[in-house]
Amino acid sequence: MYAILKHGGHQYRVAAGDRLLVDRLTAEVGSRVTLEPVLLVADGDTAEVGAGAVAGARVIATVVAHRRGRKLRVFTYKPKKRHRRTLGYRSQLTELVVEEVASASGTSTGRRAAKPAAQPAAAAAPAAAPAAEAPRRARKPRAAAAEAPPAAASADAAGAAEAQPTEAAAEPAPETEAPAPAAKRSARSRRKPDGA
């Protein structure tokens, strides 16, 4: 379940557990804030869209920190008037962690959302664990991947080597010669000879 909310002239797509930076709020660090208006709430294939805002929908977030954005340099000048001015600007931001996305129909998802009573706790835990703990795949180094062929390919190669006679394996592979590079043309003088 995710929601699209409007805050400070920007629109944000948020789900439970997301972190986002918004314009500075007056709330204390650690307090919970409600972000409204919510423009859209989507859960799977269904979506609630309101005229301007979804009535009763809200996003609850916790304030993690107050910080400042990166510095922007603003340089203005007027030509031929000896006017030069450099300004610096850093926006005041608040970092939030989304705790809950609640729709108008009463369904909500998030860290504090109520668990459904229809499923037993033992059956719900293994199904939710892979989605929550989806580990990132580690990339193999390219050199190691090239040196170590897959086990099935090496077994096929070993079987093929045993089936062929040793004389054929002892023959070297024919080498192909690279074409010789084209010779450079000599630089001709573009100057016309005298008397022409």
CA neighbor of 153 nearest in space, from 142, 165, 145: 145
Under 8 Å CB-to-CB from 83, ≥6 apart: which residues? Answer: 76, 77
Residue (of 64, 35, 37) closest to 52 by Cα position? 37
151 near 158, Cβ under 8 Å? no
The span from the CA of 75 to the CA of 157, in Å, is 67
- Report strand pairing: 38-43 vs 46-49: antiparallel
Per-residue confidence in pLDDT tens, the chain, 196 aa: 899 999 999 999 999 999 999 999 999 999 999 998 999 999 888 888 877 888 889 999 999 999 999 999 999 999 999 999 999 999 999 999 999 998 877 666 766 544 444 444 444 445 544 444 555 666 666 665 455 555 555 555 555 555 555 554 556 656 666 666 666 666 666 666 676 5
What is the model's pLDDT at position 124?
46
**∠ Cα 132 133 138 (to 5°):** 140
What pLDDT is stored for residue 14 in this prediction? Answer: 95
Torsion from C-alpha of 110, 115, 118, 120, nearest 10 degrees: 120
Measure the CA–CA gap between 175 and 134, rounded to whole angstroms. 49
DSSP letter (8 states) at residue 139: P
In this structure, what token pair is assigned to residue 49?
């869209």
Instruction: Provide the 8-state DSSP code for 80.
Output: T
Q: Confirm if 17 and 100 have CB atoms less than 8 A apart.
A: no
DSSP character at residue 135: P
Entry pTM:
0.51
In this structure, what DSSP letter does residue 52 have? Answer: S
